[in-house]
Structure 1
């Protein structure tokens, strides 16, 4: 089940990014070799008490004029309304209540989504308490005073945020149908693939002028089995600033990936694999989802006997951080190989949920350490006591060792390769946690 999504909305300079960074903290494990971990981070994983959620900063460009500020804020509020479960609406006690705050508050109120009204920069509760009451006028509930920079009041705010999470967020839901997100940069043929699988043209663009609603879920039945496809297509906004469009599509990709079991990263064969494809794929990789790289428009490529191998080498090179991802070559126009996609999805889900018995894991571990000795440093050698699987989706393992510092990345990768040799785990990343145990615990 996917984690709840919480979005931060507010005017420029009220402290959106400060709050985002305070909540995201240093906990963000940015995988070094994952591209697309953007300079301005847009999303982060946050835990409060026993709840995990994805935090999104809808921020972005800081415009000059008042009119533009309002239209930008409406845009950001719309993103938050479309993609999140709870919205944090942040205002500034020092600037007081501003006209654009009221207009955005109206939009948020009409959306029916839970909104937590936060008044920032209250670095002295006694001094500013009276000023926070003014924000009751927005009519969206009790203002929560905080100071993002001094980290005051954040606990109270988070308590309110998690009250609104769906009861069973994070627990398995009844719906056991495989959920498949189709992601990729614009015009790679995401919708065409879904239309071809459905066997009909559905219209994606909604009636609301200038907007297209968020990810559309489509049920597709194949051989009597139901699949839910989550499509992020339909972003066709004219004259939007490129950076902003990119930010918007990243937010949508994150929320679609979050809800999926398997992610199809669609690449346009005629354009080759690009940095932007790597960004999109990086999101699925960071989130530990099953991944299939779907090279579309394969019918449009001039081929000889080496074409596929050369293409695959190039895809593997650009997406080198996910060597486990499966690759398939399809054409949404001719329907070539599309039916095979379902077998591939089933296989990847099976691998995402595969559990390996501890005894078997430790046999592999013993064999692996016998074949290649664990590294040592200044005369101290890494000892690996045992290993056990602690989770699925993605399969996650804990390795107990005598000294975590001695566990080199390369040796961990070696162990991962040994596990993959034995069990395949095609199409899914594996997560490893290294824990120390003192000698005497043995």
Structure 2
């Protein structure tokens, strides 16, 4: 049985995201005094009294949608209700019962879902007493809370765990964590929707529509995967205060949480400076990476277009030349199904270990093909290598003098490791440590270093 799901719904600006953050214990949803801040469904795991469930934050429900985007936000909220085992209907105790609450209540009655009415902003005894007016909605159980102060949250959660179906214990399987990142309006949310087969994140022509990092669990033939869709990452100078700044921070944190990152590029726009900045950040964080060229259906193609475009991308991203390039169209679905298995393949490389004996055999062959450099008559000697870690694969070379290690020879050694073992899609970390006495690999007669 799947983990039970609890959806938080209500009209805009009643404190749904503040309540969500309070329950999950971290600031996942953006919270500001601005109606409509939450646009997509935001999922997080929560636990109370030994019961684990999925909590869903939604955008505000407005029955009289005035724009296409508002209508899409409402559709997302209704989709969350349809998926939910239990609905938390949040209202504003400061405003009191308003017609918009009655309209939302009417929608919820038609779903036949169990509902708990949560009266937020009941910050003092007077407001807690006034909360009884919401019984007029006819939805049953009611709890006054202050999400900002944290009062009453436990009482709501007690009701939640009483009303939820108890899931059967399942064997835990480590899910792939795949982040979808890129600058605004390259089609990240469209790609997520194509992977899921439904409109999970809002898709709009307006840049920056997605402002939260969205975690979605996807069951695949290769195992479970958590797909993290993020707000578009902008240059620091273009980040405005408030919501936009939080979105960029969250997108970068999504990279930190990921194992593999799909950097989405716009096939028509080409490679931008911001694309290369993002790739550099992903590399520096040691994450696996796929360069995803989206909107490939909009490119006029010849028999050589793909190869020529790939050469262009590899030239622009020569500092992450290990990252495979995947041409796809989120709109038509072309090659979208190749993304997830490729991400699993890269995670396997990202966590791969090589036996020390095999490593040193490759090192000996590399030293024989291309001897280490010398500096002012002193030769670099490499004694042996061992793998010190994974995520990403990290190798330590023991040498006579670290100052003799030239960056060009580091590149050579990295290329030799890749030629021998692959490591497609993952960065490698090479470290060099001094070792005073050891047998020199590749030296004649087993000579000792001076």
TM-score class normalised by the smaller sequence: 0.5 to 0.7
Return 251-260 or 367-376, whichever deviates more.
Answer: 251-260
CA distance in 2, matches of 1:241, 1:408: 35
2:239 is the counterpart of 1:243: yes
* Cα distance between partner residues in 2 of 1:241 and 1:288: 25
**Number of paired residues?**
274
Q: Which of 407, 430, 433 does residue 431 from structure 2 map onto?
A: 433
Aligned to 1:220: 218
Q: Distance in 2 between matches of 1:290 and 1:220?
A: 19
Counterpart-to-counterpart distance in 2, 1:280 and 1:232: 13
Distance in 1 (CA, whole Å) between partners of 2:428 and 2:313 is 20
- CA, structure 1 residues 266+111, in 2 after alignment: closer, same or farther (shift >3 Å)? farther
Matched, 1:199 2:197: yes
- Once the two structures are TM-superposed, the CA of residue 199 in structure 1 deviates from its matched residue by 0.7
1:415 matches 2:440: no
Q: Distance in 2 between matches of 1:302 and 1:217?
A: 34
Quote how far apart the aligned CAs of 1:248 are.
4.8
Larger of the two Rg values belongs to structure: 2
Partner residue of 2:148 out of 110, 118, 121: 110
Q: Which residue of 2 aligns with 1:144?
A: none
Counterpart of 1:283 (choices 281, 284, 291) is: 281
> CA contact under 8 A between 2:202 and 2:209: conserved in structure 1?
no
Unaligned runs of 5+ in 2: 1-31, 43-146, 151-171, 440-447
Once the 2 structures are TM-superposed, how far is the Cα of residue 220 of structure 1 from its aligned partner?
Answer: 1.6
Partner in structure 2 of residue 266 of structure 1:
264
Partner SS, residue 339 of structure 1 = helix
2:374 is matched with 376
* Inter-CA distance 211–426: structure 2 relative to 1 (3 Å threshold): closer
Write the deviation string for residues 123-171 of structure 1: whole angstroms up to 9, x where unpaired: xxxxxxxxxxxxxxxxxxxxxxxxxxxxxxxxxxxxxxxxxxxxxxxxx
Q: Is the 8 A contact 1:387 1:400 kept in 2?
A: yes
Tell me the alpha carbon deviations over residues 352-406 of structure 1, each in whole angstroms, 9 at most, x when there is no partner: 0110001000001011001101000111000001000011110000000000011
Is the 1:218–1:228 Cα contact (8 Å) retained in structure 2? yes
Counterpart position of 1:389? 387
Distance 1:264 1:242 in 2: 23
Q: What RMSD, in angstroms, separates the aligned Cα atoms of the two structures? A: 3.2
TM-score for both structures, normalised by structure 1: 0.57
User: Which structure would you say has the larger RCO, counting Cα contacts within 8 Å and 6 or more residues apart?
Assistant: 1
Deviations 1:101-138 (A, max 9, x none): xxxxxxxx9387xxxxxxxxxxxxxxxxxxxxxxxxxx
Match in the other structure for 1:44: none
Q: Are 1:400 and 2:398 an aligned pair?
A: yes
Q: CA deviation at 1:203?
A: 4.3
Tell whether the 8 Å contact from 2:399 to 2:435 is kept in structure 1 after alignment: yes
* Correspondence for 1:253: 251
| 3-state secondary structure, aligned to 1:302 | coil
Match of 2:312, SS? helix
TM-score by length of 2: 0.56
